[in-house]
């Protein structure tokens, strides 16, 4: 193919939603390509499990948050929750991410979002997470580290491995990439200490129980929990055109109810745009259209001009996006159409108290 397919098309293909001879032929080819990828992940995990590949033990607690599948499962709100939890314990956490989708200034959307949510928490982006951890240790003012998107990163030993499963496709359509969405075999959940079913409110209790039962067969001693991603408020961009661009931007936070019944144009550049759509449906707004961009898309003026022109044509009341998008486009919007980011926090349906107790055991002096 001359251009890569978008995330939604890929999901439709590997999930079997796309029918026809061409789709079946592509899935057959992907079946062949899955085998070497599966073999590599299996061999790599065997080498780590057997001690052939070393893991590095750091002198401070390490908490990992990760996925079993590709695409967004809503890690950032959980990382933010963890950061606030440790700050409440009067501890100073640090965050390390690999740094997918970094812009020219060396940051990415997750970095910018977490900087907004946790302004007092230092965050390092580095493909070499051991080097990033050593940098934190050398600074001498960190009590523990949160590894973001690190379930498959096994070079650093961790005190707690937390894995998020997306309720809408928890097991990656039962195939490893590129035939499916799994990063590695579902049996890898045996390494995890905690599994959270994210966006659990989007499926019914019977479906949730079925997923939980399968996970607990794989890992009987795992701590299971269910969380939902709730829209909490709207973050808005306002401009005063009488001042310079660096001075005229102000951010205001309003109640989520402000968009109830309003005509909305939405867009997102995340791994799971359908999840964002379903989140917006809870806001009771009229979603005129949701325009998906590639994951970690670097927006430019042309993109924003197109969105604002589309919003004017559709006579919408405002434009909505995710926090990951908002932090990348706030300097580009003209202010002609109100732009809001949906600020999402997590709420526990189950597992919160045992999870808090487990975290307490990982604190310095408790390990």
Note the pLDDT tens digit of each residue in 155-211: 999 999 999 999 988 999 999 999 999 999 999 999 999 999 999 998 999 999 999
Answer yes or no: is pLDDT of 250 > 80.
no
Q: Which CATH number fits domain 62-229+348-362: 3.40.50.300, 3.30.70.250, 1.10.287.110, 3.90.1300.10?
A: 3.40.50.300
Answer yes or no: is pLDDT of 102 > 80.
no
Locate the DSSP E strands across 98-200: 122-125, 144-148, 160-166, 194-198
Q: Locate tokens 């927006």: which residue? A: 299
pLDDT in tens, 41-99: 999 999 999 999 999 999 999 999 999 998 778 899 999 999 999 999 999 999 999 87
Hey, what are 147's tokens? 């590894």
DSSP state of 283: T
Mean pLDDT of 269-283: 82
Return the pLDDT at 245: 45
Q: Which of 76, 92, 93, 229 is nearest to 149 (CA)?
A: 76
pLDDT in tens, 287-315: 999 999 888 888 888 998 999 999 999 99
Higher model confidence: residue 225 or residue 282? 225
CATH 3.40.50.300 domain residues, the chain: 62-229+348-362
Return the pLDDT at 328: 84
CATH class of the region 231-344 = alpha beta
Residues 6+ apart with CB under 8 A from 147: 62, 63, 64, 65, 66, 96, 129, 153, 156, 158
pTM of the model: 0.87
């Amino acid at each position: 193919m001359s251009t890569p397919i978008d995330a939604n098309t890929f999901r439709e293909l590997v999930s079997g939603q796309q029918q026809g001879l061409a789709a079946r032929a592509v899935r057959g080819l992907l079946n062949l390509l899955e085998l070497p990828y599966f073999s590599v992940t299996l061999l790599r995990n065997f080498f780590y499990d057997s001690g052939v590949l070393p893991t590095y033990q750091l002198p401070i607690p390490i908490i990992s948050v990760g996925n079993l599948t590709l695409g967004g499962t809503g890690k950032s709100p959980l990382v933010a929750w963890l950061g606030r939890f440790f700050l409440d314990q009067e501890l100073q956490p640090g965050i390390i991410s690999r740094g997918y989708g970094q812009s020219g200034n060396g940051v990415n959307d997750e970095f910018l979002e977490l900087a907004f949510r946790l302004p007092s928490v230092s965050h390092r982006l580095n493909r070499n997470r051991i080097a990033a951890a050593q940098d934190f240790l050398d600074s001498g003012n960190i009590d523990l580290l949160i590894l973001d998107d690190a379930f498959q990163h096994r070079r650093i030993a961790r005190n707690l491995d937390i894995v998020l499963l997306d309720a809408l496709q928890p097991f990656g359509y039962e195939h490893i990439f590129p035939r499916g969405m799994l990063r590695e075999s579902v049996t890898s959940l045996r390494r995890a200490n905690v599994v959270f079913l994210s966006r659990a409110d989007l499926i019914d209790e019977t479906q949730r129980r079925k997923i939980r039962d399968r996970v607990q067969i794989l890992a009987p001693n795992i701590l299971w929990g269910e969380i939902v991603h709730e829209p909490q408020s709207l973050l808005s961009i306002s401009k005063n055109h009488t001042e310079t661009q660096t001075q005229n931007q102000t951010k205001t936070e309003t109640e989520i109810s402000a968009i109830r019944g309003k005509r909305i144009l939405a867009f997102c550049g995340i791994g799971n745009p359908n999840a964002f759509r379903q989140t917006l449906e809870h806001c009771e707004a009229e979603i005129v259209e949701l325009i998906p961009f590639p994951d970690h898309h670097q927006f430019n003026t042309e993109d924003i001009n197109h969105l604002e022109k589309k919003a004017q044509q559709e006579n919408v009341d405002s434009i909505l996006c995710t926090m990951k998008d908002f932090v990348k486009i706030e300097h580009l919007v003209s202010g002609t159409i109100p732009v809001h980011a949906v600020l999402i926090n997590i709420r526990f349906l189950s597992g919160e108290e045992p999870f808090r107790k487990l975290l307490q055991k990982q604190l310095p002096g408790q390990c």
